[in-house]
Chain A
Amino acid sequence: MKKYILIRILRSIFSILVVTSIAYMLIFEFVPRNRVFENDGMYAKISNRPEQLPLYVNQKYEELGYLNFSAQDEICRDTYGAATSAYTICMDTTSSLFSKAQAKYEAKGYVFKTIELSGVVYATREIPMLERLWSFFSKMIVIDNPNVIQDETHPDLERKIYIGQNWNKTSYALMCSGCEHKYLVYFDWAFPFIHQNVVSINFGRSMPNFYGIPTFEVLTMDQGVNVLKPVTFPSGVTADSGVLEYTCSYKTSLDSLDQTKFTDNYANCSLNKDAPSMMGTSFIFGILALIFSYLISIPLGMYMASHKGRAIDKAGMTYIVFVIAVPALAYIYLFRYIGSTFFQLPESYPSLGPNNILSYIMPTISLALPSIAGLLMWTRRYMVDQNTADYVKFARSKGLSEGQIYLKHILRNAIIPIAHGLPGAIIGAIGGAIITERIYAIPGMGKMLNDSIRVFNNNMVITLTFIFTALAILSVLLGDLLITRIDPRISLDDKKKGKKKHVKR
């Protein structure tokens, strides 16, 4: 069994990698690369300065991983070192030293271009697809260590890991100098109490929406309005601020305001805000919808089965047909309309904000509608089928009440396929989140996918594809493992013939 689980985990990881790689290759190969500038404010500003435009464009392409780009000064510095006489000569494109450097770069596959207006020379090299893919995956997991920060203005930066105290001297933490983050491992009263900044996931930077922020950070940082409270900074200054000290990371140049507050360069801190992050928002809705749909559909399915052919059963069946036949777009709007007209519930999430419970009702219902239909159908069908099974007849002949038979006998058997449907419900919730978050304007991952596609934010699309795929594949794995826990008769090993096949969702 252990071996089987290990193989399953490896296969799940393999699936995630395959799907992400295909997505990555397709996006970077087929989406025209210049479309990223369509919604870029910086590009619009620079576009009337043709001598700078190619430099900006190629620099961005390099950041996005399309090509290697070197401007003239970088070529010369690379070949002859900074502030040498050879470097100065090299900056003249007619010199022999420059042609030597050029030859060296051309051998590596670089192509040289000259900007006609300013005479500046730059070189670019297209990165082949597989090399790009490799660098994407190899940079994906980042481990913070004291040699990460290479800051020319601070060559004598201390490099060490030590145990220190936080600003208020209330707690101890594993801290670092020379790492990206100041606090590596720390404790606080928020779940899960022990937090770390050592291992982080890197998918590149977001562009053009959330310009320049790493995509994973965009999804995990808090949203909403700053929450201010009095903070005593390391320098002793006390001010009302939303700074979260544990998030502080290295900042190359400090402004005057930073200098009054901080004693070192770890001044790049996130702010405390009142709304959960995009990922958090999506998870809240996903979990609420999951709980809601199970709470409604299992009792209702049982009730329908025990009142087969009566009004409630017919109403339930009509609902199932309704959800299957009517397009999602139509019924979500219909339910939103009913909710807002008859129950005065908000039509969009931002109108009452994340801290009002009323904002959560309609989106949760919309998200749960399809999975309720599926579960209802399953539960009812199963209950009806089992009603004539021998063990049920026996229980009935013993004189047990119908309630006892349904709860103690049939439900225990029915729970297995229902539990196996759990991953399906999660996958459905992901798909549903894309629709629901768009319609209710919920700032979650589903809406972010939609927004990112509209502005051609490739890195963000890949990040979200990765997250959604990973969630879906892992939930299938967990669903399979869950049923072996619930039902000891099911074995997932290949040796026994009762191999569980995937139930069609």
Chain B
Amino acid sequence: MSNANEKFQFVKIDEFASEHISAPHYSYWKSVFKQFFKSKLAIAMLIMAAVIFSISMIQPLFSNYNPMASPDISDFSIRFNRPNLTFWFGTDHWGNSLFDAVWSGARTSITIALLATSINMGLGIAVGAIWGYNKVLDKYLLEIYNVVANVPFLLVAIMLMYVLGPGFWQLIFVLCMTEWLSVAYFIRTQVMIIRDREYNLVSRTLGTSAVRMISRNILPFLTSVIVTMLSREIPSIISSESFLSFLGVGLPPQITSLGKLISIYITYYGTYPYLFWIPVAVLASISVSFYIVGQTFADASDPKTHR
């Protein structure tokens, strides 16, 4: 008996361990990335988006492609060369390398898409959050929205481009002019749904200011919704931009874009199909990769999918 007592020792209470909460460590952003990288398709698309993005930002710096200049116009031997080792994407009717043209066009298309999307999303989220929170503002903005939303976007865009004339900044203005309002409307509806939830009610009773309510309580809740919107917005802007340029109301002659290349090379649709299909394929790859990366990221950013 006494022997047994000697073999045991009293352990002191470990203050640190008793304070430790026995839940696994959880970091929101870590979980988001963990979830995101589970999808092989998303990784492939992320790599594709990154490659296309970097080529289109870097390649035009070296090629110095200028749609107004055709230095090899008098050399008939390098017109309509099919894709080969010298000209990876072939050459067109003026002997210009399609490889240069496509990446120069892709740079414009991506720049416009990113700029217009960030303006639309930024303005849309800011206005939408206040709009959903403020009932007086709601009355007026809803009226404006009802007039704007019922008019087809393409019609407004074509009309405005016609009025403003072709140009890079004009195009961005037109792509943002009415589109931010639909983003704002969507956010407004989302904000209205969660505005009066219990945790917000408690927060408001405790005297939290409106700005803090929106920025700390409501918007973080909407992360996945916002990322979903973002992933749809980029393809839709790319589509609109390419279409406006295709119609000839988008960009001036000295700036090229994928939509413009498609509209120029449509003439060779039957005779030299590579001239037409390569820009189409690059355009589609850009917007599909951005879309799938965005969608997967949106799914991953929803905490319900974690664990």
Contact = CB atoms under 8 A, between A and B. Distances in A.
Given A27-B162, A461-B162, A504-B186, A330 B284 contact: yes
A232 interface: no
A333 B280 contact: yes
A169 interface: no
Interface string A318-332: 000100111111110
B249 A326 contact: no
Contacts of B295: 321
A453 B295 CA distance: 37
Contact of A15 (B146, B159, B182, B232): B146
Given A469-B151, A504-B186, A327 B247 contact: no
Given A27-B163, A328-B243, A468-B152, A434 B287 contact: no
B160 A26 contact: yes
B66 interface: no
B112 interface: no
Interface stretch (B17-25, B89-97, B127-135, B234-242): B234-242
Nearest to B153: A431
A449 interface: yes
B154 A321 contact: no
A23 B152 CA distance: 14
B163 A327 contact: no
A501 B189 CA distance: 10
B235 A324 contact: yes
B247 A453 contact: yes
Contacts of A469: 150-151, 155
Contacts of A449: 155, 158
A324 B235 CA distance: 7
A473 interface: yes
Interface string B234-259: 01001100110011110000000001
Given A431-B153, A461-B162, A327 B189 contact: no
B237 to A, nearest CB: 10
A26 B163 contact: yes
A324 B163 CA distance: 29
Contact of B287 (A15, A31, A326, A505): A326
Interface string A1-37: 0000000000100010011000100110011000000
A327 B159 contact: no
Contacts of B189: 501, 504
B51 interface: no
Given A30-B163, A434-B155, A327 B185 contact: no
B197 to A, nearest CB: 19
A500 to B, nearest CB: 13
Nearest to A503: B189
B101 interface: no
A440 to B, nearest CB: 12
Query: Do most interface residues of chain B lie in helix, strand or loop, or is the interface mixed?
Result: helix
A333 B159 CA distance: 24
A324 B232 contact: yes
Contact of A328 (B162, B163, B186, B239): B239
Nearest to A25: B163
B155 A431 contact: yes
Contact of A329 (B150, B164, B283, B291): B283
Interface in A423-465: 427-428, 430-431, 434-435, 438, 449-450, 453-454, 461, 465
B147 interface: yes
A19 B151 CA distance: 8
B262 interface: yes
**Interface bin, chain A:** 35 or more
A330 B150 CA distance: 26
Given A15-B147, A472-B152, A30 B164 contact: yes
A450 B153 contact: no
B158 A329 contact: no
A327 B160 contact: no
Nearest to A26: B163
A324 B232 CA distance: 7
A19 B146 CA distance: 12
Contact of A327 (B146, B232, B284): B284
A324 B158 contact: no
The winner among A329, A430, A501 for most chain B CB atoms within 10 A is: A329
Interface in A94-114: none
Contacts of A325: 235, 284, 287-288, 290-292
B201 interface: no
A449 B292 CA distance: 34
B284 to A, nearest CB: 5
A302 interface: no
Contacts of B239: 327-329
A435 to B, nearest CB: 6
Contacts of A334: 280
Contacts of B247: 434, 438, 450, 453
Contact of A465 (B155, B262, B292): B155
Given A325-B288, A326-B284, A501-B189, A461 B152 contact: no
Nearest to B241: A327
A388 B239 CA distance: 37
A502 interface: yes
Interface string B30-53: 000000000000000000000000
B241 to A, nearest CB: 9
B159 A461 contact: yes
B211 interface: no
Nearest to A19: B151
Interface string A25-56: 01100110000000000000000000000000
B2 to A, nearest CB: 68
A387 B217 CA distance: 33
Contacts of A30: 163-164
A468 B155 contact: yes
Contacts of B160: 26
A453 B243 contact: no
Given A325-B291, A327-B242, A329-B243, A31 B162 contact: yes
B151 A26 contact: no
B264 interface: no
Interface in A308-350: 321, 324-331, 333-334
A330 B186 contact: no
A59 B175 CA distance: 37
B101 to A, nearest CB: 17
Contacts of B269: 333
Contacts of A27: 159, 162-163
Q: Which 10 A-B pairs have the closest CB atoms?
A: A325-B291, A327-B239, A431-B154, A431-B152, A325-B288, A30-B163, A26-B163, A330-B284, A15-B147, A473-B150
Given A27-B159, A328-B243, A449-B158, 6 more contacts: A15-B146, A26-B159, A321-B292, A325-B288, A327-B239, A450-B247
16 contacts: A26-B159, A321-B292, A324-B232, A324-B291, A325-B290, A327-B242, A327-B243, A329-B243, A329-B280, A431-B154, A450-B158, A453-B248, A469-B155, A501-B189, A502-B149, A504-B185
